[in-house]
Amino acid sequence: MPRHAYVNGRYVPHGEAQVHIEDRGYQFADGVYEVVPVFAGRLIDEEPHLDRLAYSLGELRIAWPMSRAALKLVLRELIRRNSLANGIVYLQVTRGVAPRDHRFPEHSRPALVITTRRARPISPAHLANGVPVVTLPDIRWRRCDIKSVSLLPNVLAKQQAVEAGAYESWLIDAEGCVTEGSSTNAWIVTKDGRLVTRDRSAAILSGITRQALLDLVEVEQLIVEERRFTLAEAKAAAEAFLTSSSSFVLPVTRIDGAPVGDGKPGRLTLKLRDTYISHMNHAAAAL
Ligand code: PDD
């Protein structure tokens, strides 16, 4: 069965899906996106993802392409048509099509594209050994809280990680603190067992996985600190890990080539990965 995409009101075979050459997403990166995990055929944490979409759209003054309720129906229909069990839904809203001009067009309609992708299983080696990250200066703009499709610095950072044999780049701000990864949030566990991740601000994307995990650990007797942490602190940490809608919770065992803790996935990290996967199982079963 061919995979389908949803493009501005129509379900079309993925290979034939097209948008106009003057879509402002294409010319100006004038648009936003969301990546929603799908587990056992169900959208996980759909409401917070749609809330974040609303926030991103609002910050850029792009109108909703359709009502939230209608969008939820389209997401489900695409998952059904593509028989998606585990993977992600990608949805992108741009300011629409208009003759190229930097200022907002007066009459464009927001353009909506939705695709799905099957999960690429995390390699067993990554899970068993954890993944390496390299660090790079954070050269992004000062509104990283908006999930904008303008991802060039993130793309360059990921490519540098790949070329260095790493899984991810952790981005370092002007004060020497870790902001986040190129497409993931960054976490450490201090030697005295405190869980630390950067506080929410315009310096990071407020990850839905990050927030879900913070909510999940609230019930446990853990000290959680949402604050800046330096690269030096990360390198001296007992454990480190990253979170995202596609990686879930993934141990980080090397930073710039140096082992984190004993160089093996941390005990708390693996427990939190299980906690998050149970959350997805429960969420899927409850829907
Ligand atoms: N990336 N930080 C950045 C810069 C991201 O792009 C992402 C998500 C995250 C994690 O957010 P969440 O937990 O909501 O997935 C943090 C997605 C997966 C992507 O661009 O493909």
Q: Tell me what the mean pLDDT of segment 235-261 comes to.
A: 98
Query: In this structure, what token pair is assigned to residue 129?
Result: 């050994």
38: part of which helix (H) or strand (E)? strand 31-39
- Model confidence at 178: pLDDT above 90: yes
The DSSP bridge partners found for residue 88 are 37, 117
Between 221 and 106, where is the model more confident? Answer: 106
SS (H, E, C) 140-151: CCCCCCCCECCC
Cβ of 197 less than 6 Å from ligand 1: no
Confidence of residue 20 (pLDDT cuts 50, 70, 90): very high
Percent of the chain, pLDDT > 90? 95
What are the catalytic residues?
147
Strand, coil or helix: 172:
strand
Confidence of residue 188 (pLDDT cuts 50, 70, 90): very high
Q: How many other C-beta atoms can be found within 10 angstroms of the C-beta atom of residue 125?
A: 9
Q: Tell me what the mean pLDDT of segment 3-26 comes to.
A: 97
Cβ of 185 less than 6 Å from ligand 1: yes
Q: Give 15's DSSP letter.
A: G
Q: pLDDT at position 2, please?
A: 65
Which pTM was predicted?
A: 0.97
Q: Which atom of ligand 1 is nearest to the CA of 212?
A: 13
148 contacts 137 by C-beta, under 8 angstroms: no
Q: What is the mean pLDDT of the chain?
A: 97
Cβ of 151 less than 6 Å from ligand 1: no
pLDDT in tens, 79-110: 999 999 999 999 999 999 999 999 999 999 99
215: part of which helix (H) or strand (E)? helix 208-217
d(CA 178, CA 170): 7
d(CA 152, CA 140): 9
Cβ of 157 less than 6 Å from ligand 1: no
The dihedral of CA 78, 246, 209, 149: what is its sign? negative
Please tell me the least confidently modeled range out of 83-92, 179-188, 278-287: 278-287
Confidence of residue 286 (pLDDT cuts 50, 70, 90): confident
Q: Do strands 224-226 and 195-197 pair parallel, antiparallel, or not at all (unpaired)?
A: parallel
Q: How far is the CA of 180 from the centre of ligand 1 (A)?
A: 10
